[in-house]
Amino acid sequence: MSAITLIATDPARFDPLALDQLETCARFDGMARIVGLPDLHAGNGIAVGAAFWSPSHVWPHLVGSDIGCGMALWETDCLVRKFRLGSVERNLHGLDAPWAGDHAAALAEAGLPQHLASPALGTIGGGNHFVEFQRIEAIADEARFADLGLRHDRVWMMVHSGSRGLGQAILQAHRQTDARAGIPADSAKAKAYLAEHNAALVWAILNRQIIAQRFCESLGFGGRRVLDICHNSVTPHRGGWLHRKGAAPADRGLVTIPGSRGDFSYLVEPIAEAADHALHSLAHGAGRKWSRKDAYARLSRRFSVADLQRTALGSQVVCEDRRLIFEEAPDAYKDIGMVIADLEHAGLIRVIAKLRPLLSYKTRAA
């Protein structure tokens, strides 16, 4: 069995099912190291919030169906004092519909083939994907914040989405009969998967860029992208292959780690000296405390939809899918403060700033 490292001050907080899922993966032939991050939780057969390294094999199902899913953080040119929730909410319409822009030109500029055109390009999708407008709540490292040229008085925008149906199609095309066996990395099958995987990564980054542009245009904002990181991927690492399933990279610069829609998010900088301990990976968010089914069962009996359209921090939620607003409620997620504290305790990050949610957008009714 390969070695499993858990990044947590109290591993007893982890869901036993998630730990069982890690142990199952540790028995895969060719698996060498596994890291469970503070947001670790049980997934559909594979734990989410984990990194897996093999010197010799690739497992498509460890990346999953949403290849390239990740977070982009934008600093808009809108001043916080001019951000009006009511006005913003009224202007956020038509954003679930297909993007009316030039798909061919966007794909060509990104270096992607035209057969990857899709009506899903430029749309958020379902599940836990979102666009959230935020403001700086506190700056933990004033000097670094200034060095980065960031501005505390602007509205920020976080985009969480991925490769949509493209990643699902790729996983289905490369799904193995025996997932435990993996694909030898030097085989034609692995090379075919990796080529499609890499295209999906670029597609997902382009998707987040177009989503951000659509939201800014709908509000008359300008903006600049501060970062874009993928947390579902497999990449070359130290002569082998590093699979991240709900794990942010610690070797690509700044990282944003979101809380639930009713909690703070954090802008952090990885600390390179400690990165190998956690397979150069970080938590990608708060991590689920309850499954979607459990969240709906627990919360739909206690709250109305209207109750969940405002959060404890005073932010607004736009989610006109009745089931989804319960499934993705803040109570369904872990405490992001504890996740950040675990990463700090492990010496993996330094916090630059904390961001407060202003408005979270998931979907409008069809």
Residues noted as catalytic: 284
Backbone φ and ψ for 165, nearest 5 degrees, come out as -70, -20
In the chain, the DSSP E strands lie at 3-6, 33-41, 48-54, 57-58, 70-79, 130-139, 154-161, 183-184, 223-230, 232-237, 240-245, 247-249, 255-257, 265-270, 281-283, 316-319, 349-363
Q: DSSP for 150-198, please give it.
A: --TTEEEEEEEE--THHHHHHHHHT--SSGGG-EETTSHHHHHHHHHHH
Token pair, residue 41, equals 């939780």
Q: For residue 239, is it left (φ>0), alpha (ψ between -120 and 50) or beta?
A: left
Pick the closest to residue 358 from 125, 140, 72, 130 (CA basis).
Answer: 130
